[in-house]
Amino acid sequence: MKRYLIIRLFQSLLAMLAISMIAFVLSHLSGSPVDAMLPDDAGPEEAERLIRLWGLDRPYHEQYLVFLGNALQGNLGDSIKWSGQTAMGLVLDRLPATLQLGGFAIIVSTIIALPIGVLAAVYKDSPFDSFGKLIALLGQAMPNFWLGIVLIWVFAVTLNWFPTSGRGGLANMILPAIAMGWFQVAALMRLTRSAMLEVLDSEYVKLARIKGVPEWRVVWVHAFRNAAIVPLTYFGLIAGSIFTGSVVIETVFAWPGTGLLAIDAIRGRDFPVVQAVVLTFAGVFILANLIVDTLYAYLDPRIRYR
Amino acid sequence: MQDPSSKAAPEAMISEAKPSLARAIAGLPVVPVFILVFLLIIPALTADFLAPHDPVTGSIPKRLKPPVFFGGTWEFPLGTDRLGRDILSRIMHGAKVSLSISLVGILLGGVLGTALGLIAGYFRGLADAIIMRLVDITMALPSILLALVLAVSVGPSFQTVIAVVAFVLWALYARQVRGEVLSIRERDFVARARVSGASHFRIIWRHILPNAANTIVVLATLQVGSVILLEAGLSFLGVGIPRPTPAWGLMVADGRQLIVSAWWIAFFPGLAITLTVLALNLLGDWMRDKLDPKLKEL
Amino acid sequence: MPWNGMRPARALIAATVALGTGLAALSLPMAAQVERLVAAVSKPGTETNRFWSGATMWHVMDPALEGLIEHDPVSGEVTDKGLAVSWEASPDFKVWTFKLREGVQFHHGWGEFTSADVVHSYGLHTGEDAIIPTVDQLRGAKAEALDRYTVRFTYDKPIKDLLFLHGGRSVMKVYSKAQFDAEGLEGYDRKFAGTGHFQFVSRQPGQILYQRFDSHYSGTKSDFTELELRFVDEAATKLAMLLSGEAAIADLPRELMSEAINAGMETTQSARATLQTDVVLNGLYCETGDPACGKDLPWADRRIREAINIALNRDEMLEVLFPGGGAELLARYAMAPGHEGYDPTLEERFKTEYAYNPERAKALMKEAGYPDAFPDPTIRLVLKPSAGVPEIALQMELIHQYLIAVGFQAELREMDHATVGAMGRAREAYIIHPSKNGPPRPTEVAFRAFYSNPGGPYQGWENDWTTAKIKAFSGETDAGKRHEIAKEVFNYLFEQYVDLPMFEIRAQLAYNPKMVSGWQFPGVTSSGYGHWHLVKAAQ
């Protein structure tokens, strides 16, 4: 177990190093911040001055080594676009908003998916099964920005149940969380359903039934407790899709998180911030998967030797 | 050395373990296939002859005309957009665009991912380690940011979207195929082929790939839908298929602001996306159940 | 990281604000909140308190920061009601002296405003990290405080448009030197002090909160005690905020204005035009011997340039792009009355010589041998999204339609601002792209940036004649002669059809009449709107 963890940790660090390189190369390929930040009417001298100021006149490998050296000390440089702020500071300022919304979206999708999944397994091939499947699949079939706008118009403007946008209390999170989380419902529900089917068919569930345990207890206590582990594997993947979703959903709902920051940074060719965002996203993703894998390895010893 | 029964074994085992593709097609679910044929395939094939108007050039005096049963005329059955272009024609041509992005993107990502997955799973060792680390890295990179960076550096284009699609998909294929190969390579018929002196290439091509085919087909079916949605998301961010090409996601993204006054601009392409993706997912679900019940996570 | 020290306090304020707005929005969304004015505005280019090194953030900094020169909200003209009460330039426009208002107080108790603050602010706005528009013109002066209320700028070149830089463009805002001396830039980042009608309270990602400054020198007060600006980029969301009562004011795109009006909202617009949407025929770097000259470009031929111009039905475009009015045809860059070289006869000629005439366009194309006579007849139009002005992208789509209609092989390409800028800086911008010129630049700036070598990256036109004339213009100090030269250049550019002149537009916003009864603002600065203290509360 220890050895498995150490190997995984080492692999993760290696991946982060590679990602730092990719982030560096990609962001520098995307052009120069000078072109994004230079006023329309400024002449070449102004451009030259900014190139010197931002250290863009130095060779690429030198820039990368400086970046890497600083990154190892936890410093990803000063933002070019957000004057007076560090790249990492900007990301950390906005990360809680993204994690909060993403976490809530996961909770929402779990709350919807698990019961539907369980009931679909219990009432297999009934109309409920198909209906549940349809609800779940619908979330996977709509562009999320479109879903978000429709939700705003129906529930915020017409019905006035929720605020339209912005970060605030619980009420502000419901619409964006649905727009973000519905997509995950199908996969989670499917996993739960098949895990439940398997468990319901197992010996000890049959045993419980024979012993006269009431059916609801069989389903929700005996079976569900064992089936609930399976969707866990999926949460590692969700972490990635939450970030992908955040870029779009944060724009629609004016949610001031990292996704919004990422778009601005890329458009502004703000290399330090682009790198910080990519590294943070990747870091959180890798960490989430590490935790999931560890938990899973702990629960299921066969994994360790795969 | 070889008894006659062993030669027939591989084929026999396939058909025993999983129903063949041909037999599967016979029992296709009707509604999803019907939707796909009439919403995606026929429009895509016939748009060039049957679409009533040009999808790119419009008529500005005829802009923002409502659909036929909402005060419009049969000239533009689903209404017109801001530039006076016929929405129906654009949806028909859009089917072609969506279909080609999905096919080309999935083909590229699928071939690359399958090849690498086969190599990783079959040879194990160093190749496996390297490929799987690449998979990890790819999956950890936020694809949408990658698309944004790519689009701002080379400009959004059909090729950019394809590249992003292929990049996102290859890792999925590689991982799934590798997992599949790991179990296939331990099976008897592979061992026998190896003993009989078949080359690695022949073993992979003749014995392993056919057994992994079901996984690949199911994956591909399920991904057409997600590619269509990815295109929409990219268009929303302004880095998808460039204007004036009619692409469904772009049409929804372009019409989203007029959700009240000219709702039809975004509604009809949005409906096309939803129905198509829904049908594809239902079909994929069905195929998974029939062909490859192991693919639970997708 | 300078942020660490204040995080708890900021977080507390943030939580209170968030909770407050969340609850308010939940419980009584339509209740008239006279106390706090909430506006949904386009996201500023940068969220920073350092005005000089941020991009497009006038509209969100305007409540607290003021420039030297004030404009009248009704006429839009320069007035002496601002921080500078009088000014004069030497005859050669090299020395400018400003007399400052006495008794102006900075926010947060940072004391009285004096000439030392102007000199200090000039230093900030012309420093290493300054990226404000026209900064290269603002630079180069010796700034001196002659006495407590007199400040003098001495340039070594004539600078006729300094008032425009300080007023119409408002590129220099006044910060407190006392605060800087005590706290440094970190103090600004935390809680900067300006002299405006509102003082800064706090900033969070995506929003900024101001509080009424009751000791403003003008004696006028806002009807609202607090002002909250929320940054929203998605136009449909902005409209939703307005209609649901979460925001009282929203800067909507033109095509959503009619939806807002249908839902009972009202609109207001700036006194002056704030933006020009002209389109640049780029890549004609054709001074003698310049290898960058795109001589094979179709639009290197004057006849093709004319054909492109008259293929456009500008009246129809005006109707499509700006259905709610507030936009007019404009004959040429920098051709607004009052600018040097303005020639009213061009306005008249524009009506006939640039008028929609597809038949003549086709004839001109035929005469020029289009497409066969050109190695690459493709007309490359760039669709460049412009922050806050979605009409500019739609304008390019319309142009594409018109060009196809007369038989041009036109192609749309999507590029972002920085990509076009990079091509322009490399002198490889062989494309036709929109330019966002707001507010109309003075003649000298426009000449230098758009029609001479080496101009800004978004220029399109260079040749020996123009360059020589512009050089003569820049060196000339006699106002009458300057005007004549500029007029000659404008006539030449006009007859050469060097660009696609489009529209000048006013800033428009929609407001909820249940909360706001009106807002009249002058329309200066690049964001176009400001003067938030003039928003009138509904009764």
pLDDT tens-place values along chain C, 539 residues long: 333 333 444 444 444 444 444 444 444 444 444 589 999 999 888 889 999 988 788 889 999 999 999 988 888 888 999 999 999 999 888 999 999 999 999 999 999 999 999 999 999 999 988 888 888 888 889 999 999 999 999 998 888 888 888 888 888 999 999 999 999 999 999 999 999 999 999 998 889 999 999 999 998 889 999 999 999 988 989 999 999 999 999 999 988 998 899 999 999 999 888 888 889 999 999 989 889 999 899 999 999 999 999 999 999 999 889 887 777 777 665 566 777 888 888 888 998 999 999 999 999 999 999 899 999 999 999 988 777 788 888 999 999 999 999 999 999 988 888 888 889 888 899 999 998 776 677 788 888 888 887 777 787 889 999 999 999 998 888 888 989 999 999 999 999 999 898 988 888 999 999 999 999 998 876 668 889 999 999 87
Task: Name the minimum distance, in Å, from the CA of B149 to any CA of chain A.
Answer: 6
3-state helix, strand, coil in chain A (%, to 5): 75, 0, 20
Taking CB atoms and an 8 Å cutoff, what residues of chain A touch B274? 138, 141-142
Q: Is residue C109 within 8 angstroms of chain A, CB to CB? A: no
Given a cut of 90, whether residue B90 has pLDDT beyond it is yes
464-503 in chain C: CB under 8 A from chain A: none
Of C19, C49, C204, the CB nearest to A256: C204
Taking CB atoms and an 8 Å cutoff, what residues of chain C touch B260? 259
CB contacts < 8 A (A, B): 141
pLDDT of residue A224: 79
pLDDT of residue C29: 42
Give the number of domains in chain A.
Answer: 1
Q: Is residue C389 within 8 angstroms of chain B, CB to CB? A: no
197-256 in chain B: CB under 8 A from chain C: 238, 242-244, 256
pLDDT of residue C331: 64
Query: Could you tell me which chains touch chain C, where touching means 3 or more CB pairs under 8 A?
Result: A, B
Complex ipTM: 0.86
Mutate to test the interface with A, among C49, C190, C234, C279 (most CBs of A within 10 A): C234
What is the value of pTM for the model shown? 0.87
Query: Domain holding A103: CATH number?
Result: 1.10.3720.10
- CA C221 centroid distance within chain: 27
The domains located in chain C, with CATH, are 36-231 (3.40.190.10), 272-506 (3.10.105.10)
Taking CB atoms and an 8 Å cutoff, what residues of chain A touch B171? none
Taking CB atoms and an 8 Å cutoff, what residues of chain B touch A137? 278, 281-282, 285
A148 with A179: CB under 8 angstroms? yes
Q: Given an 8 Å threshold on Cβ–Cβ distance, is C18 in contact with A168?
A: yes
Q: HSE (CB half, 13 Å, CA atoms) of A250? A: 28
B214 with B292: CB under 8 angstroms? yes
Mutate to test the interface with A, among C26, C42, C43, C444 (most CBs of A within 10 A): C26
CA atoms of B40 and B57, how far apart (whole Å): 22
Q: Is residue C26 within 8 angstroms of chain A, CB to CB? A: yes
Count helices and strands in chain C by DSSP H and E runs: 17, 23
- CA A302 centroid distance within chain: 28
Taking CB atoms and an 8 Å cutoff, what residues of chain A touch B282? 137
Given a cut of 60, whether residue A74 has pLDDT beyond it is yes
Which residue segment(s) compose the domain that A211 sits in? 1-306
Q: In angstroms, what CA-CA distances link A26 with A243, A272, B70, B153, C216?
A: 19, 12, 48, 9, 49
Q: Given an 8 Å threshold on Cβ–Cβ distance, is B236 in contact with A145?
A: yes
Q: Is C381 helix (H, G, I), strand (E, B) or coil?
A: strand
Greater confidence (B62 vs C360) lies with C360
pLDDT of residue A119: 87
Given a cut of 90, whether residue B196 has pLDDT beyond it is no
Q: Which helix (H) or strand (E) holds C229?
A: strand C226-231
C449 with C161: CB under 8 angstroms? no
Tens of pLDDT, residues A214-227: 888 888 887 877 77
CA atoms of C279 and C57, how far apart (whole Å): 24
Taking CB atoms and an 8 Å cutoff, what residues of chain B touch C235? 257
Of the candidates C414, A250, C380, the one whose C-alpha atom is nearest the C-alpha of residue B239 is C414
C385 with C253: CB under 8 angstroms? no
**Range list of H helices, A30-126:** 33-37, 44-53, 60-72, 87-122
Tens of pLDDT, residues A36-73: 888 777 778 888 888 888 888 888 888 888 888 888 88
Residues β-bridged to residue C88: C97
Tens of pLDDT, residues B226-279: 888 888 888 888 888 888 889 898 999 888 888 888 899 999 999 999 999 989
Q: Given an 8 Å threshold on Cβ–Cβ distance, is A30 in contact with B140?
A: no
- Calculate mean pLDDT across residues A240-258: 86
Taking CB atoms and an 8 Å cutoff, what residues of chain C touch B240? none
Task: Name the minimum distance, in Å, from the CA of C271 to any CA of chain A.
Answer: 24
Q: Given an 8 Å threshold on Cβ–Cβ distance, is A163 in contact with C25?
A: yes
Q: Is residue B62 within 8 angstroms of chain C, CB to CB? A: no
Query: Could you tell me which chains touch chain B, where touching means 3 or more CB pairs under 8 A?
Result: A, C
Neighbours of C291 (CB within 10 A): 6
Task: Name the minimum distance, in Å, from the CA of C235 to any CA of chain B.
Answer: 6
pLDDT of residue B243: 85
- Calculate mean pLDDT across residues A125-140: 83
- Residue in B with minimal Cα distance to A192: B296
- Residue in B with minimal Cα distance to A144: B233
CA atoms of C365 and A109, how far apart (whole Å): 60
Of B238, B244, B260, the CB nearest to C400: B244
- Residue in A with minimal Cα distance to C437: A40
Taking CB atoms and an 8 Å cutoff, what residues of chain C touch A260? 205-206
CB contacts < 8 A (A, C): 189
Of C235, C259, C414, the CB nearest to B155: C414
Query: A168: Cβ–Cβ under 8 A, 6 or more apart, which residues?
Result: C18, C19, C21, C22, C25
A17: buried, middle or exposed (CB in 10 Å: 19+, 13-18, 0-12)? Answer: middle
pLDDT of residue B86: 93
Task: Name the minimum distance, in Å, from the CA of C258 to any CA of chain B.
Answer: 9
1-20 in chain C: CB under 8 A from chain A: 1-3, 18-19
228-287 in chain C: CB under 8 A from chain B: 235-236, 239, 253, 255-256, 258-259, 262
Task: Name the minimum distance, in Å, from the CA of A72 to any CA of chain C.
Answer: 17
Q: Given an 8 Å threshold on Cβ–Cβ distance, is B261 in contact with C262?
A: yes
The DSSP symbol for B208 reads I
Taking CB atoms and an 8 Å cutoff, what residues of chain B touch C416? 152, 238
Tens of pLDDT, residues B19-61: 555 655 566 777 888 888 888 888 888 888 888 899 988 888 8
User: What is the token pair recorded at C130?
Assistant: 């300054």
Of C46, C48, C421, the CB nearest to A38: C421
